Each structure stands twice: as C-alpha cells, then as structure tokens.
Amino acid sequence: MTTATLSLSELTAAATEAAKISAAASDAERAAWLTAVADALDANARELVEIADSETSLGATRLTGEVARTTGQLRLFARVITEGSYLEAVIDHADPNSTPPKPDLRRILRPIGPVAVFSASNFPFAFSVAGGDTASALAVGCSVIVKAHSGHLRLSERTAEIMADALSAAGAPEGLFALVAGREVGTALVQDPAIKAVGFTGSIPGGRALFDLATSRPEPIPFYGELGSLNPVVVTERALAERSAQLAEGLAGSFTLGAGQFCTKPGLVFIPAGTDFAAKVAEASKDKPALGMLTTRIAEAYPDGLRSFASVEGVDVVSGSVDQDAVSDGAAPVVFSTSAAKALERPEELLEECFGPTTMLIEYTDQEELSGVLAKVPGSLTATVHAQPGEDISGLVEQLSNLAGRVLFDGWPTGVAVNWAQQHGGPYPATTSLFTSVGATAVRRFQRPVAYQDAPETVLHPALRESNPLGIPRRVDGELVLPQ
C-alpha cells in the first residue's frame, strides 16, 4: 500500500493496469466499490475520529461530522455515475444528404487514467485520503495514488488500510488505490509519466510549485489545484442600518470557525464608511476562544501574518492582539480595519490571505470606490452580498460573479454543501482550473471526451448504442432525450 512495500514505479505501473480494468467496469460495479468504502469508513468512524483528533485537535464533534460528509460524498458519486448524465453521451446520426455529407458521430467522456491526489491539512477526511478528489476520480474509472499530508499521517495510513481492504473485498482490481508519503515522493509522483492528472488542496506556494511541475513535463498534465481564497463579503448601507448586530454576530462566528482554517473563511469584509460596525464585530468576537491550529508550521505563520497587516500605516487592530503565541496558546481572533483607499494603495500587503481566525474590515465611501477595490481582489472560492430587499445590486453581483465561483446572498461562506449544484472553485489563485472540487460535477476533472465516427455497434460503449441499454439521458441529433 505504501512505498515501504512497493517503489513508486511499481505503484504507478499497478495503477496503470488497474485503470484499464476500472475503465472497462460498469458504473454499477464502480458504484459498489465506492459504497463499500463508505460503509467501511462508517464502521470504523470512532477509531478514525480518535486518531484524527490526536493529530489535528479539531475535536470529536467536528471530526465525526466530517466522516459523515466524507462517506456521503462517496455515496453521492455512486449515484452520479449510475444516473448516467456524467458521461455526456451525444449521438449525431449520419446524414448523407447534407452538404457535405455528415458521418455518424458519437461522443462520450472517458476516464483520463491514473490520478495523483494531494491531501489537505484542514480537512483530514473530506479533502484527504478518502476525500472528494479520490472519490470523484475512482467513480469515473481512474486509479488513484494519494500523497498523505504530514499533519495527519497516522490517520492517512489507517484510512488507506480500511479503504484498500474494502475495495479488495468488493472486487476492485489490485492497484486501484495506493498511499504514499513524503515531499520528495510527492514531487516524483507529479512527474511520473504514468500519472495523467493531479488533484491538490493547499497553499499557494506549494500548489504553484507542483502546478509548474505538472505543466512542464514532457507530457503536460492537468493540475486541479485549490490554492487560496479571500472570500470577500460586501455589506450595503441599508443592510448595515437594518441588521448590523446580526451581521456582526454572523461574521464573528464565520471567521473564527475552526480557528479560521476553512478555505471559505470571510477574509475581507467591505462595509460603508462611518459606522460603528467594527465595534460590534469586536464585541461579538471578544469571547471567541483561542484554538489549536492544525500544524506547528501553520501556527507559527499565523502571528507573522497578523504582524504584516498591523505594520501597514492606516490599518487598525479593532480587537485581539497581533502579539500571540499560536503554537503554545492557540490562535486567538483578531479583527483589523482599514479604508478602501488604503487597500487600493497597498493591495499586495492587504489583499492577502492570512490563514487563521482573522478578518479585515474595509470601509468604502461610495460604489465607485467599492468597485475599484473589488477589482483588485484575487480570484476567490466565494463572494457574499448582504443587501436589503429591493436594492439594485445587479452590477455588484455581476462583478462578484467574475471574481468567485459561488456567490452567496445574506449568508456566510463557511460550509460547503455536497450536492449536484455545488461549485467549489474560482479564478486563480482560488483554483488553477474551471472545475469544481466539490459536488457531482467534480468528476469532470478526470474525464476526457472521445468521439467515435461510423463505429460498429459492437465496439461502442453501452451509453452510445442505439438502444440505450443503460437508460441514461443523452443528446440525440441535437435534442436532449431523457430515459422513459
């Protein structure tokens, strides 16, 4: 299962053979493999939560919920592939009377091959060994080699053992799934010619280094990286006048959740100038406890980020202290405040992510100034609007839609539903691609289209056969045809 028993070249060779078998397996067979893994993880949830808590200090309640989310993801992808529209089957019948004559063309999405997945630190289940990247790649017929995160190595190894046993018992091919560990092995994994795509969740520097490796190979491959996100929130003047106390409480709960280590944490909050909202956020945040961070490295970086913000002239510390020992005492909440003019003047320093329980309030004087500073915000996973009914926010929504992959209204971005409509991705650096890493369409990252021209029925995938034996949705001669 790990490089302790097999070399990387042996693992990738086995993954290549397993991918061929998995690609030829039916959707029902692969769905059964995913369900078997989900059942096995649920059966061992108590043990896994105990290991995870000892390595991450996230707490049993949070981790138990995350196991449920992880197994729910696996079962969702089992439903996705048996429903069938993920194949995007298209048939255009021959038309010999057209000018020029048109051949019979049938197109489908096929698995891309062996995939490398890099675990994230902040979600030791849902974005780790058995997480969404692994589940979506396995669902469509790819094999997967996971690079374990050093922040929860024992959990990764135990999760991998449970997964491997469940897959084997369910009849999945040997080599379909494997785990490796270590930075050098991870680098080599991205460069291995057998690997056809990479899924990554982590920091901008680490992700960008791997992205560059993936695209500079003799055979460049897709790198699906989720790297960093500021998740801007815009509050209108009317919204602030009507419900400032409620907004302050909501913001305080969101940016401190999980010690601010969620990729959707609201890091920038744009508010009208000249209000007492900052004081209300300070009041709502003052009793939020300091919490342990995921790794020593992350805890050491948090105060550095705080001091960087505080060193900029024109930035005020509204609540909390920038002088803290997050390693020994946990990360305590800090709220900053500045002006939109200052953010426009110093975007490289102020429009930056600080991983931890902190947020930056940015006061704007008018819509033009707000629009100008939003144009400087890097691509994000989410953007949020708090407005009152009847306000014309269409222009603002259009700008935020160009900035982020998910636009929220009168809510808070922490929390990502796992369903068919979810989009968890956005312009760089939020992600390095156009696809989502959460939800049903996450499978699209690990597929490529193949068209078959004038092919005999016997060689076609069942989804492309005239009789539609799978009973799935298809587009036939330009019309969407749903199963009866």
Residues 221 and 118 in one domain: yes
Q: Are residues 160 and 200 in the same domain?
A: yes
**pLDDT recorded at residue 5:** 75
pLDDT higher than threshold 60 for residue 339: yes
Query: 318 is written with which tokens?
Result: 């509204």
Among 3-17, 127-141, 220-234, 356-370, the range scoring the smallest mean pLDDT is 3-17
Q: What is the pTM of this model?
A: 0.94
For residues 387 and 401, membership in a common domain is answered with: yes
- pLDDT at position 57 is 84
The number of folded domains in the chain is: 2
In sequence order, what are the beta bridge partners of 269?
Answer: 233, 361
305 plus 454 within the same structural domain? no
Kindly state the greatest CA–CA separation across the chain. 78
Residue 263 annotated as catalytic: yes
Active-site pick, 226, 352, 353, 363: 226
Q: Is there a catalytic annotation at residue 226?
A: yes
What is the arithmetic mean of pLDDT over 407-426? 96
- DSSP H helices in 25-148: 27-43, 45-56, 60-83, 132-140
Task: Report the share of the chain in percent with pLDDT over 90.
Answer: 98
Statement to judge: residues 354 and 266 lie in one domain: yes
One domain for residues 250 and 384: yes
The pLDDT-based confidence of 23 (bands split at 50, 70, 90) is very high
CATH code assigned at 281: 3.40.309.10
Active-site residue, selected from the candidate residues 55, 66, 263, 363: 263
CA distance 1 to 179: 6
Both structure tokens of 140: 């469509």
Position 2 scores a pLDDT of: 43
Nearest by Cα to 305 from 284, 327, 334, 271 = 334
**Residue-range definition of the domain harbouring residue 346:** 233-409
pLDDT at position 4 = 54
How do residues 173-198 score in pLDDT, each as one tens digit? 999 999 999 999 999 999 999 999 99
Q: What average pLDDT does this structure show over 442-466?
A: 97
The predicted structure's pLDDT at residue 343: 97
Whether 359 and 465 share a structural domain: no
